[in-house]
Structure 1
Amino acid sequence: MVSRTALLFALLAAASPAASQVTSREIAETADISGLSTSPDGTWVAYRIERPSTLTNRIDVDWYVVAADGKSPPRALGRTGTALWNDAGVVEPGEAKWSPDSQRLIVRALVDGRAALWASPVDGSGFTLAAGGDGDIEAFALTRDGAIVTREGPSRDLIARTEETERETGILVDGQTDLAQPLFRGALINGRVASQRFSNDWFDRAPLLASAPRTLTTTTPGGSSRRASETESLLLAPQPDPVAFLTSDLPPALQKALEDRGVCKTKIGCAADLPRLSWALPMNGDTVVALHDADYRQTLLRWSPRTKRLEKLAASEGQLAGGQKYYLPCAAAGSAIFCVEAAAALPPRLVRIDRGGAKRIIDSPNSYPDRDGLLAETIVWQVSGSRASGVLIRPKIPGRLPLFVTYYACAGYLRGGVGNEWPLRALAAHGIAALCINAVPGDTDKDARYKRGLAAIEAVTTLLAERGIVDRARVGMGGLSFGSEVTMWAATHSDLLKAVSIASVQMEPAYYWFNARPGRETFADNVRKVWGAGSPDETPEAWKELSPALNTDRITAPILMQFPEQEARLSIELISRLATARMGEAHIFPYAPHNKVEPRQKLAAYERNLDWFRFWLKDEIDPDPAKAFQYQRWSKFAPAEARASTERTQRSTSPISINRK
């Protein structure tokens, strides 16, 4: 007789690998959609697909147009180089503008090492250079008659010469100097290795000569160029930050209707059960308003100025927005709206929603994980009277599973939590339940948010154990940014965790002294305001409580650190103390910003995290000979009682399919 479990494995193994997305490579190569833009006549909608490749280590970008009526398939306009990303490692959404006659699309693109403007007719006959010079085009706009207004930065040659001069003459350490980052060409900026400095007194960064005068130019439809007029220059003024969009930014009648419906006025500090405003845009005389809940699930409402009524248009188990971020608006075209839809188990896709709310898929650049043997469910629980929530991804197999937890935000398609460092679906495919927890709202002063995070983790672990889903004795955790702080708080204030992985630096004395100096006053002010700490000399007790480096004696779980080089030196004491105590190891990624963005670096982080948690939570070793040395190192970590037996089972199969590694 064939067991039910064996039969399940056989059925799952027969599923097409193309419909999975359960390997680190598949997750790292998930495509995204952005840059939605409607032509002036409402006939076309343009959009961009960003395709990471671990083979080429590029994020290639391709532009498309689709008829607004949705009656014909999308038309490819062509590939326009590789994606740009900001100083934090977040890919910048596509930027496109239409000619007044709706016959030509102009995009900003990084091609052959320079950011310039390229234009394509809607017939897809090919992109040609529309504007570009010795410097990178930083912003652009179109006038009513079709002239292109651009803001161009300093020439690339001038930037390079300035960098060389600094190298030869020495760099003055002031409030803009980031001592934790290589000072000479320590970052990738617009596809080039370049020097970088702080652009304010927190952690935003910019290239050299960021404050130098810019060249503002107007290029006429006939091709002639001149200095932009003052009126034309105003077209380049920065737009309001969409994340700060509030109900008070809407017409009074619509504002009142939303607030009467219970929509939070502020977004920040909202009660967990209140909807928040995401975005709004006009559609055929009406206004479409997007709301999101505490779990980042979005609902679209249509407001009619005639009836003064809000009616539900559409909803999703995840996001309906203009890209990866919930606050980016969709694109309206006539009586329809085009949105990027993405949910926990739904990779990004472009959908068209008509006036009646009917939804139709326009473009789906990813395979769907509908036959990979995994379950994704939203779970809700209570923490000291507050609502906590998250998404659990697990295999459809019986028995208690090890649990991996990441904490911060769980919006859109779940790849690896905030920062995309932990391959959640790959972990689940290898028999480790993966839980992404949304930060529990509440007091943000000092260590209250850490305690609240730990309480949420402990409560949900107990809940899942009581449901018979997870094994409380095999729990691991990972996090980036605030998520890494909560992870290390749990590691130093609880014995729950059996393995830990972090991707960003921690609060410790070195973090303070790398940054506290004239010109960085806001840094010290924020440390005092948010963490309740002065300098390590002034408030040693506060630093003893905050710093994992000063509490390594309380850590019982091995720690894997995968840091960007621009931040790693801030945690040198933690790295060295853990290494000396044989409690962990660090891997540093050159040129990586806060969020790793290069596809190969993403893949390496995913693979190492997968191996790490399989090793510590399941006693599994990947038999790949190239990985033998890492297991030799890891077998020497952790307290003596945890490594009394270093025998590990060598398995390359997952509980999902014997054909997958």
Structure 2
Amino acid sequence: MAAALLHGVMALVAITTSLLPLPLEKANAATCTELLPSSRETSVRRSVTVDDLTRLRDIGPIASADKRSDMLSLSPDGKWIAFQLRQADPVSNTYCLGMAIMPTGGGGARVIDVGGTLILHKVKSYGWAGVPSGVPTVVMPRWSPDNRWIAYLKRTKGSIQVWRAEIGGIGGSAVTHSPSDVEDFRLTNDGQSLVYKTRRQLLDVEAAITREGQNRGWRLDNRAYPIRSARPQTPDSAPAEYFRVDIATGMEKSASSVEISLFEEIGNGHPNIMTTVTGNGNVAWGEIIHRSTSYATLQLVARAHNGRQFICDVDACKLDSRSSLFWNAAGTHLRFTRREGWSDSLTSIYEWRPGARSPRLLYSTSDLLVECHSLVNDLICLRESALNPRHIVRLNVATRKQTLVFDPNPIFQTLAMGKVERLHWRTDTGIACYGDLVYPVGYQAGKSYPLIITQYRTRGFLRGGTGDEVPIQAFANRGFMILSVENLEYEAIVGQRATPEKELAAFTKDFIGRKAQLAEIETITNILIARGLVDAQRVGITGLSDGSTTVQFATVNSSMFAAASLGGCCWEPAQDGLLGPLVADRYHRAGWPSLLEASHPYWKAISFTQNAERVKVPLLFQVADGEFLGAVESFTALAQAGTPVDMFIFPDEFHVKWQPAHRLAMYKRNIAWFEFWLNGMLPSDPLQRQEALNWEALRLKASRPFPWQNSIRDRGTLRHQAKVVQ
């Protein structure tokens, strides 16, 4: 239940980026000496390890790959790109953070400021100031008008402020000194000042909640979200405040209405999003024509500086909230990305001249174009492919050829990785589906392999599934096949409904949606078994958030799976007490029974507690401390029924686990779990080996057949393991 809660929240309300202090202030990694790649990395020849995946250098958060954001910033003269570079260090359990710049034509990146601690975002919903998600926020650099420096948000000593760094210097300095965190900022047109947004009264609201608890106790009311904390959620009642800071002197005063208007876009207080403005006054936006649980469908509209308005009403101009919208360098043509093709598996770039009947297709790819910016006649894009982590390219729209500008992770060009096959299929009801099949390194034709299924997005680099908990290429280097599934959208299953709430209710009714998603997975798995690629007795499944709900439903209703791993859990009759009255009421309106209906037949289709005796699948729970209570009831019932289960709880975590040490631990444990239950192998690491010996005790106690019948084997005795670097 807890694992799917954030997905349910996101389906019911809009996600807005906000700033969230970490539960503990962690010291920054000491040196950041490996933040930029070295030439030595391109000469490495070995297998992919879990450490490689944990230490990937990232531009922007993984979870924002499907959301409009600004991870790259081009200088006004078009000569420079600025971005934040991030690398995890699982040993110190910190991140190295650096603001980097480089020429748009390539030539090497340079870090001009390092340090600070990770800024996370939270989901705004239910009238609360925010529910923690665990996903890093996008830190967008803003250029000075003279191209000489960048400004950006940075968190140090628990405070988020605006910092500034010269492109020719080393190290930055704070510009603002707000008593409350800075949420956003803009530079004035002359570059002499900046205007920032904050919510100082939020500190008073939080202090009042603290006093309430100390003096008379907290009432369990609509602020309650017990699964996260006994403390009530902070109401989103503090107004935004705006202040102007003179950059040269540091003098601060309240911003004027004109200065506040720097934050305004077409759509503020109006159902429009994705606005963009050119220097010559032309404006374009996507006007919402339909909302679903996953995204909004948009109508492309442009308005010239003379006030004349144009609408592009052909299908190719139908965008959604995953699209990017921007002008060409001359400000005469609009460019935009949109999903299309088989089950929206392609990303295409179009160009439209306001007033023209139809747009022109510039480029289309099955890769993920995270975001693009116009540069003269070219595009600067963040791009990912199935085997290539996020990197910066320059795309010539005339020739459709690309040039690599910056690759943060060149080592992945030489590491041994399993080849990837893009799969297309249909469910028995005819719905188009797609996914990616990753072959084992050293694949042998005619041999059937164990399969691990990851969910629920498969766009861009195949890293670890949604939530990044399953190390796909590390599994491929250990003799597994991996199927990365793009789970069906709710609207694709139940059709378009008038509102997101009605769509969610239709999806939830009689588990129509879950049945379709399970059928999607079972259909392609059976195809792979029929092709002789997969051993039908050794199929594992994993999931976080909406994916964990699919795992729960699958292990209750299907006999296909021999082992499972969940990043959170579970849906149970008693969940109302953990959700609190406000969230529970939303779920009831979507079709979930109330606590008074614990015996409702609805629960027999998904509840672990009501199906514990017939669940035969070994289940691993790796959950955040802020969600683990949602899994305790299920775990206890399964354990009492003799189902092999194990649970690990990670402290100071949110829906998506953000700490590097925890990610590495989840990676390793997932490998050990599936190697044990699908291959009968013990890990060589002493701590992991002890965990696996506990699983062996659970196996013997279960007294039921598993995919392997012989005694457990030591990992080191298998020939293919000799090449694996631990």
Shift of 1:159: 8.5
Give yes or no for the alignment of 1:561 onto 2:621: yes
Q: Which sits farther off after the overlay, 403-412 or 555-564?
A: 403-412
Shift of 1:306: 8.3
Structure 2: distance between partners of 1:471 and 1:17: 36
Shift of 1:166: 5.6
Q: Which sits farther off after the overlay, 243-252 or 87-96?
A: 243-252
- Structure 2 gap segments, 5+ residues each: 1-40, 61-70, 122-131, 275-293, 304-308, 495-506
Q: 1:105-164, CA deviations, whole angstroms, 9 ceiling, x for partnerless residues? A: 100011232211111122234311111232211121122232211123449997896676
Shift of 1:607: 0.9
Task: Decide whether aligned partners of structure 1 residues 458 and 280 sit closer, same or farther in structure 2, where only a CA change above 3 A counts.
Answer: same
Q: Say which of 424, 438, 451 aligns to 1:403.
A: 451
Equivalent residue number for residue 482 of structure 1: 546
Structure 1: distance between partners of 2:354 and 2:273: 26
Task: Decide whether aligned partners of structure 1 residues 155 and 454 sit closer, same or farther in structure 2, where only a CA change above 3 A counts.
Answer: same
Structure 2: distance between partners of 1:302 and 1:394: 37
Equivalent residue number for residue 229 of structure 1: 256
Q: Which sits farther off after the overlay, 563-572 or 39-48?
A: 39-48
Shift of 1:560: 0.4
CA contact (8 A) 1:149 1:216 kept: yes
SS at 1:64 equivalent: strand
Equivalent residue number for residue 16 of structure 2: none
Task: Decide whether aligned partners of structure 1 residues 157 and 308 sit closer, same or farther in structure 2, where only a CA change above 3 A counts.
Answer: closer
Structure 1: distance between partners of 2:356 and 2:589: 51
SS at 2:653 equivalent: coil
Task: Decide whether aligned partners of structure 1 residues 74 and 311 sit closer, same or farther in structure 2, where only a CA change above 3 A counts.
Answer: farther
Q: Say which of 101, 114, 124 aligns to 1:79.
A: 114
Q: Say which of 570, 576, 583 aligns to 1:506.
A: 570
Structure 2: distance between partners of 1:138 and 1:610: 39
Task: Decide whether aligned partners of structure 1 residues 345 and 102 sit closer, same or farther in structure 2, where only a CA change above 3 A counts.
Answer: same
Task: Decide whether aligned partners of structure 1 residues 281 and 245 sit closer, same or farther in structure 2, where only a CA change above 3 A counts.
Answer: farther
Task: Decide whether aligned partners of structure 1 residues 532 and 106 sit closer, same or farther in structure 2, where only a CA change above 3 A counts.
Answer: same
SS at 2:678 equivalent: helix
Give yes or no for the alignment of 1:149 onto 2:195: yes
Give yes or no for the alignment of 1:349 onto 2:391: yes
Q: Say which of 424, 427, 445 aligns to 2:475.
A: 427
**Counterpart amino acid of residue 354 in structure 1:** N
**Counterpart amino acid of residue 570 in structure 1:** G
Shift of 1:264: 5.0
TM-score computed with the length of structure 2 as normaliser? 0.77
SS at 2:53 equivalent: helix
Structure 2: distance between partners of 1:71 and 1:95: 20
Q: Say which of 685, 700, 703 aligns to 1:640.
A: 703
**Counterpart amino acid of residue 30 in structure 1:** L
Q: 1:590-615, CA deviations, whole angstroms, 9 ceiling, x for partnerless residues? A: 12111111111111111111100011
SS at 1:526 equivalent: helix
SS at 1:320 equivalent: strand
CA contact (8 A) 1:379 1:390 kept: yes
- Structure 1 gap segments, 5+ residues each: 1-14, 185-196, 199-207, 268-276, 323-329
Structure 2: distance between partners of 1:358 and 1:80: 36
Q: Which sits farther off after the overlay, 580-589 or 558-567?
A: 580-589
Task: Decide whether aligned partners of structure 1 residues 377 and 289 sit closer, same or farther in structure 2, where only a CA change above 3 A counts.
Answer: same
SS at 1:513 equivalent: helix
Q: Which sits farther off after the overlay, 503-512 or 468-477?
A: 503-512
Task: Decide whether aligned partners of structure 1 residues 602 and 258 sit closer, same or farther in structure 2, where only a CA change above 3 A counts.
Answer: farther
- Corresponding pairs, count: 603
Q: 1:357-400, CA deviations, whole angstroms, 9 ceiling, x for partnerless residues? A: 33111111112255414111111112111112111112132210
CA contact (8 A) 1:180 1:570 kept: yes
Q: Which sits farther off after the overlay, 111-120 or 638-647?
A: 638-647
CA contact (8 A) 2:299 2:318 kept: no
Give yes or no for the alignment of 1:93 onto 2:156: no
Structure 2: distance between partners of 1:562 and 1:459: 28
Equivalent residue number for residue 317 of structure 1: 366
| 1:90-239 alignment runs, 5 A limit | 90-146=135-191, 147-154=193-200, 165=211, 168-169=214-215, 170-183=217-230, 197-198=232-233, 208=234, 211-213=237-239, 215-223=241-249, 224-236=251-263
Q: Say which of 642, 652, 658 aligns to 2:723.
A: 658
CA contact (8 A) 1:337 1:352 kept: yes
Equivalent residue number for residue 272 of structure 1: none
Give yes or no for the alignment of 1:299 onto 2:348: yes
Structure 1: distance between partners of 2:42 and 2:405: 23
| 1:245-256 alignment runs, 5 A limit | 246-251=297-302, 256=312
Task: Decide whether aligned partners of structure 1 residues 241 and 601 sit closer, same or farther in structure 2, where only a CA change above 3 A counts.
Answer: farther
Shift of 1:436: 1.1
Give yes or no for the alignment of 1:52 onto 2:88: yes
Structure 2: distance between partners of 1:65 and 1:245: 34
Q: Say which of 99, 122, 135 aligns to 1:63.
A: 99
Task: Decide whether aligned partners of structure 1 residues 21 and 40 sit closer, same or farther in structure 2, where only a CA change above 3 A counts.
Answer: farther
CA contact (8 A) 2:99 2:111 kept: yes
Give yes or no for the alignment of 1:453 onto 2:517: yes
Equivalent residue number for residue 405 of structure 2: 362
Structure 1: distance between partners of 2:194 and 2:626: 37
Identity of aligned residues (%): 24
Equivalent residue number for residue 334 of structure 2: 287
CA contact (8 A) 1:476 1:500 kept: yes
Q: Say which of 553, 559, 564 aligns to 1:495.
A: 559
Structure 2: distance between partners of 1:628 and 1:72: 47
Structure 2: distance between partners of 1:442 and 1:591: 36
Structure 1: distance between partners of 2:539 and 2:724: 27
Structure 1: distance between partners of 2:55 and 2:669: 17
Equivalent residue number for residue 11 of structure 1: none
Equivalent residue number for residue 550 of structure 1: 610
SS at 1:509 equivalent: coil
**Counterpart amino acid of residue 533 in structure 1:** P
Shift of 1:297: 3.3
SS at 2:87 equivalent: strand
Shift of 1:428: 1.5
**Counterpart amino acid of residue 320 in structure 1:** L
Structure 1: distance between partners of 2:44 and 2:200: 46
CA contact (8 A) 2:106 2:405 kept: no
Structure 2: distance between partners of 1:121 and 1:245: 39
Equivalent residue number for residue 437 of structure 1: 485
Q: Say which of 429, 435, 449 aligns to 1:390.
A: 435
Structure 2: distance between partners of 1:16 and 1:95: 29
Give yes or no for the alignment of 1:332 onto 2:378: no
Task: Decide whether aligned partners of structure 1 residues 172 and 248 sit closer, same or farther in structure 2, where only a CA change above 3 A counts.
Answer: same
Shift of 1:338: 1.3
Shift of 1:524: 1.9
Shift of 1:165: 4.0
Task: Decide whether aligned partners of structure 1 residues 61 and 289 sit closer, same or farther in structure 2, where only a CA change above 3 A counts.
Answer: same
Structure 1: distance between partners of 2:134 and 2:185: 22
TM-score computed with the length of structure 1 as normaliser? 0.84
SS at 1:135 equivalent: coil
Structure 1: distance between partners of 2:647 and 2:152: 40
Shift of 1:568: 1.3
Task: Decide whether aligned partners of structure 1 residues 57 and 258 sit closer, same or farther in structure 2, where only a CA change above 3 A counts.
Answer: farther
CA contact (8 A) 1:295 1:411 kept: no
Shift of 1:651: 1.0
Q: 1:187-236, CA deviations, whole angstroms, 9 ceiling, x for partnerless residues? A: xxxxxxxxxx54xxxxxxxxx57533554210124322111123323434
Q: 1:158-197, CA deviations, whole angstroms, 9 ceiling, x for partnerless residues? A: 789667646644333221122112336xxxxxxxxxxxx5
CA contact (8 A) 1:394 1:434 kept: yes
Structure 2: distance between partners of 1:76 and 1:288: 31
